[in-house]
Amino acid sequence: MQKVLIVGGGTGGTMLANTLDKRRFDVTVLSASAQHMFQPGLLYVAFQGASGRLLRDERSLLRRHVKWVQDRAARIDLARHIVYTESGTQLEYDAIVLATGIVTDPSQVPGLSEINAQFGDYHSTVTQSQKLWRALNSFSGGTIALGQSSPVCKCPPSPVEGILLAEEFVRKKGLRNKTRLVLFTPYPRAYPAEPMNSVIEPILKERGIEIFPIFDLDRIDQATRKMFSIEGDQIQYDLPIVIPPFTGADIVYEPASVVDESRLVITDRASLRVKGVERAFALGDGTNLPTSKAGVGAHLEAKVIARALNGEPATFDGRTHCPVDLAGGLGTFVIGSYTARVVPYPPSRIKHWMKKMMAHIYWLSLRGTLEPFFEWYFAWTAPEKLAQRLARHTAGKQFPAVK
């Protein structure tokens, strides 16, 4: 029996633990939190006041044969195959999978900790998202400035989703004509990937949202209610909704060279092995993989690692497949891979419904129950095939805004 230790019981760690064959692997999940959060739900708590159940007991999500240890990994000696936990326990393993995700770190931007403490945010906790919902409800007009403070963002479409849902909120409250909405971004366009920007930017413009590109947030001055960028620009705000920078887990690694300056694990983009270390893999948000930080990525990476542990050929192709809520009952997906450009997928009502369905499907997908469906679905929506199908359907036509 091979002892596999998975550090981190989030989306990727849980899926992998439930996938590995119990006849071949003795699997332990070590995770800092007893609760598992459905993170995409934070968006709806913050912008729609949703009260759905976002937290579940991690133990209840793991198959019975999987061992569960609630503790924080403090030090990981990758040469000796030992994990030292915060409570003083030592765990040994034959193979390790690092799945510790990323966390927000507002302290990197002067003034941001105070802003997040006052107005909340939608990338950390349910409490912070509820605070943002209260801030939105206290808003009576002025400028809502929303954006990401660093290029790395958990769920790249989430800034666009946030500003579109904020626009929908003020419109429904009758405040639209008293509200200026600004989306700021360090990228040169509203959505980082150009083909998808051609779908998203017209929608933002149509809804009267101003786009402030190349705005690298440098500091926030609460006294004058201004945000300043490294480039020397400024945005005046009344309600600031700022996505903080992110960092990897606070773990001491031996060797220390396995993490970069943001504490992301340096991971081979194809094999998902931790660079330079035997029997060590990494997946999900906590890696430096050049792909979207999204649950779908963690899911697909977990499958690749499961195959590699089984001794089968296994390569990750960088596939991304992020649902995007465009508000107004519309949705789309950002679909691409290392080798296929993101497909400019036209919005539709069914895609919006699929995004909303995620809240239910998520818990089943963690158990691996829906894997045959996902195998089919991801193959059917492979970016190359999807691009060909779209080209056939839309030959000579403009993409319709709504289907």
Ligand X SMILES: Cc1cc2nc3c(=O)[nH]c(=O)nc-3n(C[C@H](O)[C@H](O)[C@H](O)COP(=O)(O)OP(=O)(O)OC[C@H]3O[C@@H](n4cnc5c(N)ncnc54)[C@H](O)[C@@H]3O)c2cc1C
| Residues at the interface with ligand X (CB under 6 A) | 7-13, 30-33, 39-40, 42-43, 72-73, 99-101, 122-123, 154-155, 158, 249, 251, 284-286, 293-296, 298, 322-323
Q: How far is the CB of 347 from ligand X (least distance, A)?
A: 15
Tokens 């999500």 map to which residue? 61
10 in helix, strand or coil?
coil
Q: CA dist 256 to 98, 169, 240, 253, 289, Å?
A: 14, 46, 37, 5, 18
For ligand X, which is the closer residue by CB, 89 or 315? 89
Burial class (CB in 10 A: 0-12, 13-18, 19+), 156: buried
Cβ proximity to ligand X: between 32 and 235 the closer is 32
Nearest distance, CB of residue 232 and ligand X, angstroms: 30
Cα 340 versus chain centre, distance: 20
Minimum gap (Å) between residue 8 Cβ and ligand X: 3
Q: In the complex, what is the shortest distance from the CB of residue 89 to ligand X, in angstroms, rounded to a whole number?
A: 12
**Cβ proximity to ligand X, 56 vs 72, nearer residue:** 72
What is the spatial distance between Cα 326 and Cα 168, in angstroms, rounded to a whole number? 10
**Min dist. Cβ of residue 224 to ligand X (A):** 29
Q: How far apart are CA 337 and CA 288, in angstroms?
A: 15
Q: Which two tokens stand for residue 9?
A: 């019981």
**Cβ contact 127:36 at 8 Å:** no
228/259 with CB nearer ligand X: 259
Shortest Cβ 106–ligand X spacing (Å): 14
Neighbour count for residue 364 (Cβ, 10 Å): 11
* DSSP H helices in 175-257: 194-206
231 burial level (CB within 10 Å; 0-12, 13-18, 19+):
exposed
Instruction: Name the residue nearer to ligand X (CB basis): 197 or 291.
Output: 291
Beta carbon nearer to ligand X, 228 or 253: 253
User: Quick one: which of 150, 158, 119, 120 has its CA closest to 238?
Assistant: 119
Output 163 or 228, the one with its CB closest to ligand X.
163
**CB 315: neighbour CB atoms within 10 A?**
13
CA distance linking residue 206 with residue 78, whole number of Å: 52
Q: Taking the complex as a whole, how short is the minimal distance between the CB of residue 287 and ligand X, in angstroms?
A: 8
